[in-house]
Structure 1
Amino acid sequence: MNALDARAWTWIFVGVSLAVHAAVVVWSRARAASAYYVAERRSSPALNGMATAADWISAASFISMAGVVASSGRDGSVYLVGWTGGYVLLAVLVAPYLRKYGKYTVPQFVGERYASKGARAVAVGCAVFVSFTYVAGQLRGVGIVLARLVGLRVERAVLLGVAVVLLQAVLVGRRAATHTQVVRYAILLIAYLVPAIFLSLLLTGVPVPQLGLGGRLSAGGAGLLGAEPGRPLLDALDGLGRELGFGRYTGGTRSRLDLLASTLALMVGTVGLPHIVIRFFTVPKIRDARASAAWALLFIAVLYTTAPALAAFVRATYLHAVEGTPYRSAPGWFTGWERTGLARFTDRNGDGIMSVSGDPARNEVSVDPDILVLAAPEIARLPPWVTGLVAAGGLAAALSTATGLLLVIAASISRDLVKGLWIPRLSERAEVGWARGAATLSAAAAGWLAVHPPGHVAEVVAIAFGLAASSFFPVLVAGIFWRRATREGAIWGMIAGTAFTTLYVHWFKFARPDLDGPAHWLLGISPQGIGTVGMLINSAVLVVVSLRTPAPPQAVQDLVTRLRQPREADRAPGDAPAAGARARW
């Protein structure tokens, strides 16, 4: 397949996508704070569920997740299980209660529930820190797509991505973001399903990817992989991996404790993600928040059940396409990604033949897992338009989540910090100005981290989830279900959990990356899973300190009781706490 043809199709799909987004932005541009933050609470449950799914299906989900599963097999399943289970946990455990509270942001809830400006300030810092780390992963994803599109090194393409993200986040707001994210969800879903269906048909003759994963090789698929027809796909993939020195694709190397900790960190971290929680504030009523959660879960499940199948298809076609190929005849997809710095051939034995091996000393081909999904159509020699469609979907996923995250940072700084703590009489116009300035500075700083990432996109995002787990999860759950939780417990719990997780990640990813391995990890738990330990530290500190400090004011305890009354939640619009519920600061 001609790589230039694929690039032309990419320009077409991306151009059409951006044009549609621009039209929606102009139509629904935010002019008031309620529109900028929560879309004036006019989103229907189905549309808000679709927009939530677009927020959720980030660059990590679209670009990186299947690539990580393809490269690591069973070990990559923690992302599938953790992120899917985490959304269920969020929808059932936290979202309806926070929506009943009826404010814009999580720090607002923390501040009023714990009757403390200090708790609100710490929550603002945690929200900004989590969102900053998360948005860095999304900007990396934007940069990867743009790098292939315009032929730049990924580092330069990230800077271009920062400008693209800011163009929407700074100029519009949550209302426009809701509508554009509905469009983006449709784009990214089609872009994800089309190559998966093509590959499933190619390898197994089954048009449903989820069924193709457990299917048997068709005659065409057997010829492509050099295996006998009728052999189970996963069995053929295990055999191909063993021949090249890899472990079983259906096996893994990570310890069970690390797998458990990483999965749990992703699950409980979901509950503390500010940009997802705020989505439940954009619907008119509390019962709509529950319906919105159900719709979002349905939309998310479509992609997440397709990911493991796509990962297996990609790994099979990639290994077959690279192994034994002369470098002078390297396929166009490889040389194209080589120019971005995300693919590399090192001729260790001087024979000019590309060789893939599970032994690092013998392996000659290095391909970043983040490019495997984007390159899948070219690897399998699918029509050029499929390549363009996948690139447009990857860009839509990264832009959608990056925009939502920047809006959370903007809301946290302008509404919770500036107006909530520093300048209470700040005008609406000035507040939106502060929000846009905060988004601009945050995007610039996150762009630096995206240029110097501590890992692939899914790994960076997993770290953000760990930070969310260690900072917000215990405080939110205790704030809803435990009347005795105090402001001192909340403050010191957030500080202890976040500090531990941050220092652990910094040590292994930045200070001493040479020690980043199971032999040096605490209890064999990786930086992606350490958020679980941070969450336990936060919980322990919160409980101990709360029991050793005076109980919260009665008004706060009454608020906690009201938050857990479903009948009242179904009757009330949820735009403000009941009379007398606002705590004294």
Structure 2
Amino acid sequence: MSAPTSYFLRLRRYYALFSAGFAAFLLALAVLEQEGMPRIWIGYLFMFATIVLYASIGVLSRTSNVSEYYVAGRRVPAMFNGMATAADWISAASFISLAGGLYLHGFDGLAYVMGWTGGYCLVALLIAPYLRKFGQYTIPDFLAARYGGGAGGRGAPVRMMAVGATILVSFTYVVAQIYAVGLIASRFTGVDFSVGIFLGLASILVCSFLGGMRAITWTQVAQYIIILVAFLIPAMWLAVKHADNPLPQLAYGKVMPRLDVREKAIETDPKEREVRAIFRQRAAAFDAKLAALPASWEQGRQAAQRQLDGARTRNASLVDIRGAERALIAYPKNPDEARLAWQAARAQNLARARPATPHAQPFPAPDRAASDAKRNNFLALVFCLMLGTAALPHILMRSYTTPSVHEARVSVFWTLFFILLVYLTLPALAVLVKYDIYTTLVGSDYAQLPTWVSYWANVDKLTPLISIVDSNRDGVVQLAEIAIDADVLVLATPEIAGLPYVISGLVAAGGLAAALSTADGLLLAISNALSHDVYYKVVDPGASTQKRVTISKLLLLAVAFIAAYAASQKPADILSLVGVAFSLAASTLFPALVLGVFWRRANHQGAIAGMLAGGLVCLYYMLHASPALGGTAAGLWFGIAPISAGIFGVPAGLLANALASWATPPPGPRSAALVEYIRAPE
């Protein structure tokens, strides 16, 4: 038996034992729940058992060897590399937010599924095999060699720009993952959101800090198994519950017509229309306040102050006084702040006043022009996600870890297979959960709301993840009175479906695994870019291997804490942050990577011009058009949302690369030889 075959069989045996042990752990917790173990203890056990597992793998895989730390020794078998890459890829956005996005937006939410799946096909066809044949450690390594030479040579500017793009993209992405860690930890351990972030961070650091890519790879294989089991069990349960079929993908088609009937019944309900009218009135009130600024701001501030003074004068209860104090503290500090807050509140009320969108209707809008605008945004988002996927540094790094180019190609097949096991279930889960909520929660007694509503409403006091307020005071829950954050739906699915709490703990562990696995890869991509491409290739080319690994570990630690602090500020929802990262990756790195492989004439000047032009156009459009970043809706180009800024950045990058390459001398013989080498048949 050859050494690679023996290694593969040994790994298969280890993970078979892990799977059996995990199943036994689940069964034991289910029995303990039946025996009366408190829910909070089940949550603690799930969270800490999985974190200890990942930490143990990290400790066992610790290394100071450069090849092992950066690329896992280039000996990861294709199937296991596929599982690790799938775990790296199925981030918190996929596991936690994507089904919620499909629930809220119906057909339009499929842009994420189509874009990310199609993007990985681009990775397989355009990038991964060529990177593996190049055989270095990082993406900036490849770009520096392709566009002008090694450390300190003409490749240094390209290397530095690639490092900057890697850090910008990966940091934006990792903030979303750490935000998800805090969300899960706060829900299932009861700690404060910010504390939950730093608890999860400890697990991330043990794996990536001690063993680099080697530890991350074997941890991600274990994490994928947890992700898959955690995602499929609730989906299969709901499929049996609503369609008598354990396969969600088949149950999907049976439940869709029922959901359509229920949607039409809700739409014609007079009480539903009454609630929407209330939200329209509230939006009109904010309109009046906005029109009367700055006088309306001053009047509101005085009213809040009088409310507090009155509570103190009449010796009101401490609760009332504290409430009045919080209202005054939360009141906008100046007219400009009031304008932004009231515009957001107006938009929120208008959104809740609109009729619910039929789940299967593509690009719903009141007129053809608005529908066309939605279609254009759908296609633009698919475009950005596909090309962004093909340029994500932490995903492309995994192509370096296989033993050969052939194994890299096979690994991509396995990755797609393992991703699709989850992605094909996502649309079905969204429909099954929506049907469950529409038939059990909508129309129920407001005084007897299920306990999961109060659980999730109290996770974050400032921005509740779910809110149900009896706006028309009829004692009955209407659909328009339910506000659900997309980030909560999958985590709450077991409770919505009526499953035992042990399954809620399992789903939390799956969400945590998805967030941690991606965060590990992203942090390693950042620290490797800084230690290998900046410190070793530019600052100190004579550094010993031990020093290089130590520098990488220290930089990883610093970046992790900065990202955790940024996540604790809750800069945006998970899907929005991830979308920004993909547009940035597509605009900055994709043109240089693809032209570097397939166009021999692309040169040093072209790469610099392309990365600069693509990145600047993308960033400018985001800042110019995103209200969250100080822009306005009036700044939209062709009605394209800021999350799809890559639709402008990618053409700008490709065009700038091409024009600058044509206007300057062709690349040198080393670059031409590299292109010939990586594109030569195996």
- Could you tell me the TM-score, scaled by structure 1's length? 0.89
> Who is 2:360 aligned against?
250
Note closer, same or farther for the CA distance 1:311–1:511 as it changes in structure 2 (3 Å cut): closer
CA contact (8 A) 1:145 1:395 kept: yes
Which residue of 107, 114, 136 maps to 2:175?
Answer: 136
Note closer, same or farther for the CA distance 1:514–1:325 as it changes in structure 2 (3 Å cut): farther
> Who is 2:186 aligned against?
147
CA contact (8 A) 2:623 2:631 kept: no
**For structure 2, which runs of at least 5 residues remain unmatched after alignment?**
1-32, 149-154, 273-354, 365-372
Which residue of 556, 564, 572 maps to 2:671?
Answer: 556
Distance 2:234 2:207 in 1: 29
Note closer, same or farther for the CA distance 1:8–1:310 as it changes in structure 2 (3 Å cut): farther
Which residue of 245, 264, 271 maps to 1:239?
Answer: 264
Structure 1 residue 520 displacement after superposition: 4.6
> Who is 1:419 aligned against?
536
Distance 2:441 2:198 in 1: 31
Alignment partner of 1:399 is 2:551: no
CA contact (8 A) 1:319 1:356 kept: yes
Alignment partner of 1:348 is 2:381: no
Distance 1:99 1:507 in 2: 38
Structure 1 residue 350 displacement after superposition: 4.6
Alignment partner of 1:206 is 2:245: yes
Q: In the alignment, residue 239 of structure 1 is paired with which amino acid? A: K
CA contact (8 A) 1:261 1:529 kept: yes
Which residue of 108, 117, 141 maps to 1:108?
Answer: 141
CA displacement, residues 223-268 of structure 1 (integer Å, 9 cap, x when unaligned): xxxxxxxx82443354356355302111234621111110010001
Trace 1:207-226 onto structure 2 (pairs within 5 A). 207-216=246-255
CA contact (8 A) 1:377 1:386 kept: yes
Structure 1 residue 167 displacement after superposition: 3.1
Alignment partner of 1:64 is 2:123: no
Structure 1 residue 457 displacement after superposition: 1.1
- Percent of matched pairs sharing the same residue: 40
Q: In the alignment, residue 167 of structure 1 is paired with which amino acid? A: V
What secondary structure does 1:29 align onto?
coil
Note closer, same or farther for the CA distance 1:138–1:47 as it changes in structure 2 (3 Å cut): same
CA contact (8 A) 2:54 2:203 kept: no
Distance 2:556 2:176 in 1: 16
- Could you tell me the TM-score, scaled by structure 2's length? 0.76
Distance 1:331 1:343 in 2: 12
> Who is 2:590 aligned against?
473
Distance 1:349 1:108 in 2: 62
> Who is 1:432 aligned against?
549
Trace 1:373-522 onto structure 2 (pairs within 5 A). 373-509=490-626, 512=629, 515-516=632-633, 520-522=635-637
CA contact (8 A) 2:259 2:435 kept: no
CA displacement, residues 259-304 of structure 1 (integer Å, 9 cap, x when unaligned): 1110010001011000000101011111110111111111111100
Note closer, same or farther for the CA distance 1:454–1:316 as it changes in structure 2 (3 Å cut): farther
Note closer, same or farther for the CA distance 1:139–1:552 as it changes in structure 2 (3 Å cut): same
Q: In the alignment, residue 99 of structure 2 is paired with which amino acid? A: A
Q: In the alignment, residue 290 of structure 1 is paired with which amino acid? A: R
Alignment partner of 1:269 is 2:379: no
What secondary structure does 1:276 align onto?
helix
Moved more, 1-10 or 194-203: 1-10
Moved more, 292-301 or 335-344: 335-344
Q: In the alignment, residue 678 of structure 2 is paired with which amino acid? A: L
Structure 1 residue 487 displacement after superposition: 0.9
**For structure 1, which runs of at least 5 residues remain unmatched after alignment?**
217-230, 358-363, 568-585
> Who is 1:319 aligned against?
438
Distance 1:459 1:429 in 2: 39
Alignment partner of 1:297 is 2:412: no
CA contact (8 A) 2:138 2:528 kept: yes
Larger Rg: 2
CA contact (8 A) 1:107 1:416 kept: yes
CA displacement, residues 428-462 of structure 1 (integer Å, 9 cap, x when unaligned): 22212221222222222222332344532122111
Which residue of 554, 565, 569 maps to 2:680?
Answer: 565
Which residue of 92, 107, 126 maps to 1:74?
Answer: 107
CA displacement, residues 308-350 of structure 1 (integer Å, 9 cap, x when unaligned): 0011111222334433445543322111111112223444345
Note closer, same or farther for the CA distance 1:213–1:233 as it changes in structure 2 (3 Å cut): farther
Note closer, same or farther for the CA distance 1:42–1:237 as it changes in structure 2 (3 Å cut): farther
Structure 1 residue 365 displacement after superposition: 3.1
CA contact (8 A) 2:44 2:189 kept: no
What secondary structure does 1:21 align onto?
helix
Q: In the alignment, residue 473 of structure 1 is paired with which amino acid? A: F
Distance 1:328 1:259 in 2: 40
Q: In the alignment, residue 179 of structure 2 is paired with which amino acid? A: R
Which residue of 43, 46, 66 maps to 1:33?
Answer: 66
Q: In the alignment, residue 471 of structure 2 is paired with which amino acid? A: R
Note closer, same or farther for the CA distance 1:162–1:13 as it changes in structure 2 (3 Å cut): closer
Which residue of 456, 476, 480 maps to 1:337?
Answer: 456
Alignment partner of 1:96 is 2:135: no
Q: CA RMSD of the aligned region, Å?
A: 2.2
CA contact (8 A) 2:51 2:203 kept: no
Structure 1 residue 123 displacement after superposition: 0.2
Distance 1:23 1:164 in 2: 10
> Who is 1:573 aligned against?
none
Moved more, 321-330 or 79-88: 321-330
Alignment partner of 1:123 is 2:162: yes
> Who is 1:85 aligned against?
118
CA displacement, residues 120-147 of structure 1 (integer Å, 9 cap, x when unaligned): 0000000011000110111111111111
Distance 2:265 2:69 in 1: 52
Distance 1:495 1:69 in 2: 35
Q: In the alignment, residue 449 of structure 1 is paired with which amino acid? A: A
What secondary structure does 1:366 align onto?
strand
Moved more, 93-102 or 329-338: 329-338
Note closer, same or farther for the CA distance 1:27–1:511 as it changes in structure 2 (3 Å cut): closer
Which residue of 510, 529, 549 maps to 2:644?
Answer: 529
Q: In the alignment, residue 240 of structure 2 is paired with which amino acid? A: L
Q: In the alignment, residue 395 of structure 2 is paired with which amino acid? A: I
Q: In the alignment, residue 500 of structure 1 is paired with which amino acid? A: V
CA contact (8 A) 1:471 1:535 kept: yes
Which residue of 43, 47, 52 maps to 1:19?
Answer: 52
Q: In the alignment, residue 143 of structure 2 is paired with which amino acid? A: V
CA contact (8 A) 2:186 2:459 kept: yes
> Who is 2:15 aligned against?
none
